[in-house]
Amino acid sequence: MHPCLAGIAAEMLSGATGNVRPRLGSLLRAPVTETLPPLSAPGNRIYRSTSSMQGYSELARERSKTVTSFYNQSAIDASAEKASVRLTLATLLYSGKSSDGHHTLSSAKYLHKELPVRIAHRIKGFRSLPFIIGCNPTILQVHEMYIRAYHMLSDFPQITDQDVEARFCKLVRQLLDDHKDVVTMLAQGFRECRRHIQDETVLRNFLDTTLCSRLGIRMLATHHLALHEDNPDFVGIICRRLSPKKIIEKWVDFARRLCEHQYGNSPRVRINGHVAARFPFIPLPLDYILPELLKNAMRATMESHLETPHNVPDVIVTIANNDIDFVIRISDRGGGIPHNIIDKVMNYHFSTAEESAQDPRMNNLFNTITNSGNQSNPMHGFGFGLPTSRAYAEYLGGSLSVQSMQGIGTDVYLRLRHIDGKGESFRV
């Protein structure tokens, strides 16, 4: 938020309405000396004394200074000017583990230096939002969470030994837990102020950058914590021999259970292609993306066969693996995406669920499916699923594309770059 605008917002929040939200209460602690307005005899008209008005203005100015100093701080400005140091996953994979625990110290020192910089970049992003959007209470709450996280990390002492590193791990776990609902909060906040958004590009650029930065931060933080675990199949969060077939099967079971709960049946899912492929990769982004793609395919299939819910075509998942990347194609026979909305499905807050809700036969049966899911993945039910999956895929050096045959069905192609392939490895 622009420095001047923060001051204006503070005065608005502390103005004539007196409706200061409790969340900002700790910031607005200026003492209040209340002067009762005297009653004037002629006509019993009520006037506020000059001294009362002056005190009120001084209070507003003090509150404005307090809030402005909270949102605009030179330390954050300085960190935001620094470039983040993005590592390749190959570096994380092959750095390995040391018997003396030196690898955890090195990782902790990197995070201690890097996380405040990345968080400062996000705070700068919040400041750059249009004023009316940045003042939305939910978005403002996320903004404040990032500011608090910045200070908690910046104020933490230098990491010199294992005891300090253990305390740092505790702090990182706390921050991961504190920020677990950020995606849901951003989705809610932007939905609340969507009518004020003049330029969709502003929304898309901000959310792409913020959500991908959040994914990178969570991957690095979770990787560091996982380095303490003794799992021979993993180095941190990197699985040495990830089987795409197994992770697909896990999310197929999840999506089918939801379908069966709602309809008493669900599409069969057949997996073909390079089903025996194994390679180093991170399950975490797949755990965000695959449930969304599979639920979309199943929902389309069920909605297009409402008259014959116990006789629906299969969903086909094909795996293709090569030296540079791997591709997962999810094909359904759900009738395809209509021409008039095909260009909108990658927009934030657009959901085909809104279109299908107009069908009286649905009776909102699929609301449970669109609003439930992996608890670590709160991007469902807000029209965030596909655009967030696309942003994550691009962040990881890949892509997400949709090919629809209206009247037949839809193919979604998820392409992700290998960690140790012949092509250049992506950075997080």
Residues in CB range of 75: below 8 A, 6 or more apart: 154
pLDDT at res. 118: 98
Please state the rounded mean pLDDT for residues 209-228.
96
* Separation CA 264–CA 290 (nearest Å): 23
- pLDDT exceeds 80 at position 52: no
Q: In 373-423, which ranges are E strands?
A: 399-405, 409-417
The answer to whether the Cα torsion of 147, 152, 155, 161 is positive or negative is: negative
- Threshold 0.95, pTM exceeds: no
Please state the rounded mean pLDDT for residues 279-300.
94
- pLDDT exceeds 90 at position 375: no
Please state the rounded mean pLDDT for residues 255-262.
87
Structure tokens at 283: 């399950």
* Separation CA 428–CA 234 (nearest Å): 18
- pLDDT exceeds 50 at position 398: yes
pLDDT at res. 93: 82
The answer to whether 17 and 63 are in contact (CB under 8 A) is: no
Residue of 177 and 34 predicted with greater confidence? 177
Choose the weakest-confidence range: 140-154, 172-186, 349-363: 349-363
- Angle, in degrees to the nearest 10, between helices 102-127 and 200-226: 160
Structure tokens at 230: 């003794």
The answer to whether 330 and 409 are in contact (CB under 8 A) is: no
Please state the rounded mean pLDDT for residues 159-174.
97
What does each C-alpha distance from 112 to 18, 155, 220, 400 come to in angstroms? 40, 10, 11, 33
Residue of 42 and 417 predicted with greater confidence? 417
* Separation CA 50–CA 53 (nearest Å): 5
Residue of 114 and 195 predicted with greater confidence? 114
* Separation CA 296–CA 142 (nearest Å): 28
Model confidence at 198, pLDDT cuts 50, 70, 90, reads confident
Model confidence at 36, pLDDT cuts 50, 70, 90, reads very low
* Separation CA 249–CA 395 (nearest Å): 24
pLDDT at res. 387: 94
pLDDT at res. 72: 64
* Separation CA 291–CA 283 (nearest Å): 12
Please state the rounded mean pLDDT for residues 65-86.
82
The answer to whether 289 and 393 are in contact (CB under 8 A) is: yes
Structure tokens at 377: 């993945």
- pLDDT exceeds 50 at position 357: no
C-alpha closest to that of 211 among 190, 237, 197: 190
- pLDDT exceeds 90 at position 99: no
* Distance from chain centroid for Cα 219: 12
